[in-house]
Amino acid sequence: MLFYGTRPAVQVMVNGQGPFLFLVDTGAQGEARADSSLVERLRLPSVGEDRSSDASSRVSASMNVVQLDEIALGDVLFQNVRAPSRNYNTSDYLPHIDGILGFDLFSKYLLTLDYPGKRVILATGSLPKPDQAEVLPLEMRDGNPYTEVSFGTLKLKAMIDSGNIRGIDMPASAVRQLPLASYPRSVGRGGSVSGSFDLREVQLRDPLRIGRHTIPQPTVTFTNAYEEVNLGSSLLRSFVVTFDQAHGRVRLARPRSPVSPATSSTTSRSE
């Protein structure tokens, strides 16, 4: 695992060329995204159009779609991958990124993001049945992974979004239901296809609970533009997170010992 800011990234080969740096984004719908510079370098032809929306889901933008004949991640090959394309290099403080690996790309695998161990692991097999401690039910909504979390007595579904650079994003409507441990403060502006919006930050009095894991008095970012809870990489970076899309399960574990993400065999690793 390499890092794109706080977010996980890996080097991949595309159409036999590379390596190229791709973000691993569990909050990205579809299989992949291609930066416009990669499209130009590999001379990838357009095969259609797609639309992209943001966290508000109110506005979408049209993007050209190209086909990546082959993506090689370690010794795992993904073929005929459709990838919407635009300029993803809009931040001057981050390294150049060539594309994004979306959550659907890993639908047939166990995907483990081992943040502390700096590993991305693909494996076959399945996670154990949910135990409400480390292994939790995973719900898919529009191609994105969700699990239940609680803030005190308030239970909410939260997207597990490795592509989010922050820790915990919440809609302002949810924050209004919770007791606060600090005064809200402005932390700047965010941007999306909807335009720009004010971002505020506040510390909650009640803990965040994800299965058996507790984060006391978490600091959350909120805005009226958000419509759901989002757990980003600044929170996930202390966990080993394994997604089992086929069986609707996710495991969040604190690192104690080498992790075996599958209950059965073949493992491929990109480090």
Which residues are paired to 191 by β-bridges? 196
Instruction: Output the CA angle 133-102-47, nearest 5 degrees.
Output: 160
Tell me: pLDDT of 56 over 60. no
pLDDT of residue 267: 42
Mean per-residue pLDDT of the chain: 89
pLDDT of residue 59: 52
Tell me: pLDDT of 263 over 70. no
What average pLDDT does this structure show over 90-117?
Answer: 94
Alpha helices in the chain (DSSP H): 36-42, 172-175, 233-236
Choose the weakest-confidence range: 3-17, 28-42, 215-229, 254-268. Answer: 254-268
pLDDT of residue 99: 97
| SS3 (DSSP) at 237 | coil
pLDDT of residue 261: 46
Choose the weakest-confidence range: 66-70, 175-179, 255-259. Answer: 255-259
pLDDT of residue 51: 64
Tell me: pLDDT of 224 over 70. yes
Tell me: pLDDT of 10 over 60. yes
Residue 192 pLDDT grade (very low, low, confident, very high; cuts 50, 70, 90): low
What average pLDDT does this structure show over 118-130?
Answer: 96
Residue 89 pLDDT grade (very low, low, confident, very high; cuts 50, 70, 90): very high
Tell me: pLDDT of 257 over 80. no
- Domains for the chain: give ranges and CATH numbers: 2-123 (2.40.70.10), 135-253 (2.40.70.10)
Is 263 in contact with 139 (CB distance < 8 Å)? no
More confident residue, 238 or 262: 238
Helix (H) or strand (E) holding 42: helix 36-42
More confident residue, 230 or 61: 230
Tell me: pLDDT of 185 over 70. yes
Which residues are paired to 213 by β-bridges? 210
What average pLDDT does this structure show over 206-221?
Answer: 96
What distance in Å separates the CA atoms of residue 263 and residue 266, rounded to the nearest whole number?
Answer: 10
